[in-house]
Chains A and B, each alone.
Chain A
Amino acid sequence: MVPIVLGASVVAFTIMHVAPGSPWNREGRQLDPAVVAELNAEFGLDQPLPIQYLIWLGKFIQGDLGESMSFGGDVGAMIIHSLGPTLIICGLAFGVAVLLGVPLGLIAAMRHRTVVGRAATVLSLVGMAAPAFAVAAFLQLLVPPNPFTWCPFGCPPTLVPEPFSEAWFADLAKSWVLPVIAMAALPLAQIARHTKASVLEILHSDYVRTAHSKGLREGRIVRVHLMRNAAIPILTIGGTILALLVTGSIVVERVFGVGGLGSLYYESIRNRDYNTLMAVTVVYALVVAVANAVVDITYGVVDPRIRDGIVTAEAVPGG
């Protein structure tokens, strides 16, 4: 976990500071050199780069994320404020992708010679053509333009629409349903395709044939023999899915006007807001590290051979 966070922060720091421009001269606006020098001194930007990084790191370890260079205010507070919406829509999209993608892939594999199976295969292929921003753009067509409100932690009373009114439904759609649909489409297709491939492989293994000839019921074969073994190869695309969700959140938040982490990431890069960008990068890196750890633990839960260190996830057949 520490290496990922350190590595990502070093790379982000390097890219941003090597890049031309500074927080003070965006959009062709020129500040008085004296003012720039003062601002640089205030934010420590007059120090050599390695020193700047070490200062940032020291403060970060003490829990001080610094002050935003473009929005003003404490970066930590901004992160906490925008983390909620992003986590909610990413989490929901992940849930939708897994809960629909795995059965879709399973059907495509189990019934691959029937119309239903073919339809499932085609459906998951169509999903491959649905990057988050395209789906989001398309969904914009379906909702009438309305004054949009996004307040996951409670809206001021004037902004709360009457429950079950037309405005309420429109609001619900724009703030929750549509972003989740837009973000879930591509990961869903990826999961379905991967599930299909790994189930197909296992479908022809000797132990599944044995289970069939023993006369086990299909449900039990799928649950015990198929899915447990197919789970490992499916888990290996966890990283891809996470990457799709994170980048999906950036575009979807922009399209639907959600003030989340993705928007913060984009804005802070455009504005050369070093402190905010570093903080958002660290949050992303933490999310990646936690997700990797969760996948590793799940490997062990699903397959005792991995837990006991007898084989590695890569060596599992079909992985």
Chain B
Amino acid sequence: MAEARVVGVDEPLAVPERSRGFWGEALRRLLRSPAGVAGLVIVVLITLIALIGPLFIPWPYYEQDLEAVLAYGGPIPPFVDPAHPLGTDRLGRDQLARVVDGAQVSLTVALVAQLVVVAIGVPVGLMAGWRGGKTETALMRFTDIIGTFPDLLFIIMISAAVVDTPLFRLQNGLLTTFIAIGLISWVGTARLVRGQTLSLKQKEDIEAARAIGVPENTIARRHILPQAMGPITVAVSVGIPMAILAESTLSFLGLGVQMPRASWGALIDIGIDNLSTAPWLIFPPMIALGAALIGFTLLGDGMREAFDPRASRRASHRLR
């Protein structure tokens, strides 16, 4: 029989050998879920292509190689001209360069929109959950009004409302697109953070912090918020594919990112217009958009498993 160890009052309890901490533990769980790893690989690949791809493509996304198009007598199909591996559109713009630029656009919009979402949703949810009372009622009523209506309808409305204004032209529509997406999509995050705050409020550490007189705002910032970071991270990663979908739909409708910048949605729209003369144009942006959606969806699944202990228990169930 093992010798019983007596723990003294002032002796620290045995620390697990390697404590990875909250984030380390989550990362470990993410890397153990097949969906998470697959998603991570796809997302990292797309990010790399977006970041360093332009360095390897001799054509900027906006440059028109008119000589080649005139020499060929029309838009160049893929695998014909080694200078344009995916071919060109009617104006001689390199399709590969444009799809890569589309990746940049999609990732930028998705990430910045999520920043806007966090910047609005977290404070609103935190304030509603923490303050309670009239603040909560007012904020949540407002959230409900925006939240019950399908997101994209309002996003389309905002984008269409600002289209052709100077603000819109400032960044080829990028700026207004992520403002529009962010301004509407924060609702889910706000609800989530409020729910988290409400349940965390009941916990002993918060009660203790109150008892020793920590200012209310400090408790919300220093004690509640860090404990809600897991669900917020999951919400952000689940929100990214939704933002990419919203951006490409907007650009497809001509309300999102504008020429000369390329967006996968806009490229698909161009593809439809040129179906009879250059049917190959439609495939690269469709495949890229599909890959990004699948990658981020898988990553979101992995994140959910990584941050939700209930889900990971479920995963171990499955292994039995």
Q: State which size class the interface on A falls in.
A: 35 or more
Closest to A292 in B: B148
Q: State which size class the interface on B falls in.
A: 35 or more
- A130-B290, A138-B286, A141-B275 known; A288+B157 contact, CB < 8 A: no
Q: How far is the CA of A3 from the CA of B145 in the complex (A)?
A: 8
Question: Are B282 and A247 neighbours in the complex by a CB distance under 8 Å?
Answer: no
Distance in angstroms from A199 CB to nearest chain B CB is: 12
Question: Are B279 and A141 neighbours in the complex by a CB distance under 8 Å?
Answer: yes
Interface centre among A3, A134, A145 (most CB of B within 10 A): A134
Question: Are B294 and A128 neighbours in the complex by a CB distance under 8 Å?
Answer: yes
Distance in angstroms from B316 CB to nearest chain A CB is: 10
Question: Are A288 and B149 neighbours in the complex by a CB distance under 8 Å?
Answer: yes
A residues touching B (Cβ–Cβ < 8 Å)?
Answer: 3-4, 7-8, 10-12, 15-16, 18-21, 112, 125-126, 128-131, 133-134, 137-138, 140-141, 145, 200-201, 204, 239, 242-243, 246-247, 250-251, 254-255, 265-266, 269-270, 277, 281, 284-285, 288-289, 292
Question: Are A125 and B150 neighbours in the complex by a CB distance under 8 Å?
Answer: no
Q: Which of B153, B163, B248, B293 contacts A284 (CB 8 A)?
A: B153
Question: Are A266 and B275 neighbours in the complex by a CB distance under 8 Å?
Answer: no
Question: Are A140 and B149 neighbours in the complex by a CB distance under 8 Å?
Answer: no
Question: Are B153 and A134 neighbours in the complex by a CB distance under 8 Å?
Answer: no
Question: Are A251 and B145 neighbours in the complex by a CB distance under 8 Å?
Answer: no
Q: Which of B149, B154, B286, B314 contacts A4 (CB 8 A)?
A: B149
Question: Are B148 and A19 neighbours in the complex by a CB distance under 8 Å?
Answer: no
Task: Verify if B125 is at the interface (C-beta below 8 Å from A).
Answer: no
Closest to B148 in A: A4
Question: Are A15 and B152 neighbours in the complex by a CB distance under 8 Å?
Answer: no
Q: Which of B149, B156, B241, B248 contacts A269 (CB 8 A)?
A: B156
Which residues from B are CB-within-8-Å of A138?
A: 282, 286
Closest to A18 in B: B161
Q: How far is the CA of A266 from the CA of B245 in the complex (A)?
A: 18
- A125-B297, A133-B252, A133-B265 known; A243+B152 contact, CB < 8 A: yes
Distance in angstroms from B304 CB to nearest chain A CB is: 10
**Besides A15-B158, A134-B286, 4 other A-B contacts (C-beta < 8 A):** A7-B144, A8-B145, A128-B241, A243-B153
Task: Verify if B214 is at the interface (C-beta below 8 Å from A).
Answer: no
Question: Are A129 and B162 neighbours in the complex by a CB distance under 8 Å?
Answer: no
> What are 12 A-B pairs at a CB distance below 8 A?
A4-B148, A8-B148, A20-B162, A129-B290, A129-B291, A137-B286, A140-B272, A141-B279, A246-B150, A247-B249, A285-B149, A288-B148
